[in-house]
């Protein structure tokens, strides 16, 4: 239900537009900029789906706080990405979904179902692995944008994504190590 509400809010925000010109803010729009926005949007959507599982599967306050933080930050990113794609006249998903257009690190439905079936420390450890995989994929997307993208505002987001996700990957690794020793 929360995911449906988030999607509705995102779509409503995207439909209202920003009132800005229908041109990129700086530089010329490149295929890399569009691919980054589309793929990060899919990454963010799945990250919000994964953190929604925290509520019923763990008692760790640090994971509950991380889930709240991810929900807010990814929600803000989703709105921004939706606005960009709308302004650029591009679809939110690549035209053809194949291994070339799918974002790296996405979890399969089977992996999501397996995570959903866990509780306690088993969930905590699997959650850390799952979110780490998603974050590593987002870092790869950001690195590709920084190497090939042309729009300043998109490259700036890529820098933020790279540094923010790397920090969360480090925190998840520290937590996972502590939880593994305590079980």
For the segment 11-19, the average pLDDT, to the nearest whole number, is: 39
- How big is the chain, counted in residues? 183
pLDDT at 4 over 80: no
For residue 53, what is the domain's CATH number?
1.20.1260.10
Neighbouring C-beta atoms of residue 47, cutoff 10 Å: 29
Q: Is 24 within a domain?
A: no
Q: Residue 146: which residues within 8 A CB-CB, separation 6 or more?
A: 155, 158, 159, 162
Q: Residue 183: which residues within 8 A CB-CB, separation 6 or more?
A: 121
pLDDT at 5 over 60: no
For the segment 47-54, the average pLDDT, to the nearest whole number, is: 95
Q: Is 23 within a domain?
A: no
Rounded CA-CA distance 161/172 in Å is: 16
pLDDT at 159 over 70: yes
- Tens-digit pLDDT profile for residues 75-99: 999 999 999 999 999 999 877 655 5
Domain count, the chain: 1
Encoding tokens for residue 150?
């042309």
3-state class of 10 per DSSP? helix
- Under the banding of pLDDT at 50, 70 and 90, the label for residue 104 is confident
User: How many alpha carbons fall within 13 Å on the CB side of residue 168?
Assistant: 28
Encoding tokens for residue 180?
């593994």
pLDDT at 7 over 50: no
Q: Which pLDDT value is given to residue 26?
A: 56
Per the structure, the complete domain to which residue 42 belongs is given by: 2-18+30-182
Q: Is 25 within a domain?
A: no
Q: Is 88 within a domain?
A: yes
- Tens-digit pLDDT profile for residues 59-81: 999 999 999 999 999 999 999 99
Neighbouring C-beta atoms of residue 17, cutoff 10 Å: 11
Rounded CA-CA distance 123/76 in Å is: 27
Q: What pTM does this model have?
A: 0.82
């Amino acid at each position: 239900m929360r995911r449906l509400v988030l999607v509705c809010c995102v779509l409503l925000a995207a439909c209202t537009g920003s009132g800005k010109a229908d041109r990129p803010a700086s530089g010329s729009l490149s295929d890399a900029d569009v691919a980054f926005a589309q793929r990060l949007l899919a990454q963010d959507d799945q990250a919000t789906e994964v953190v929604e599982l925290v509520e019923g599967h763990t008692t760790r306050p640090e994971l509950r706080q991380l889930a709240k933080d991810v929900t807010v930050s990814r929600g803000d990113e989703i709105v921004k990405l939706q606005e960009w794609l709308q302004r650029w006249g591009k679809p939110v998903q690549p035209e053809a979904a194949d291994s070339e257009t799918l974002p790296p690190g996405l979890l399969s439905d089977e992996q999501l179902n397996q995570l959903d079936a866990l509780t306690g420390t088993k969930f905590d450890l699997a959650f850390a692995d799952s979110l780490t995989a998603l974050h590593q994929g987002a870092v790869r997307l950001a690195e590709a944008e920084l190497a090939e993208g042309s729009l300043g505002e998109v490259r700036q987001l890529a820098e933020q994504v790279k540094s923010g996700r790397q920090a969360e990957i480090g925190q998840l690794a520290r937590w996972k190590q502590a939880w593994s020793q305590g079980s």
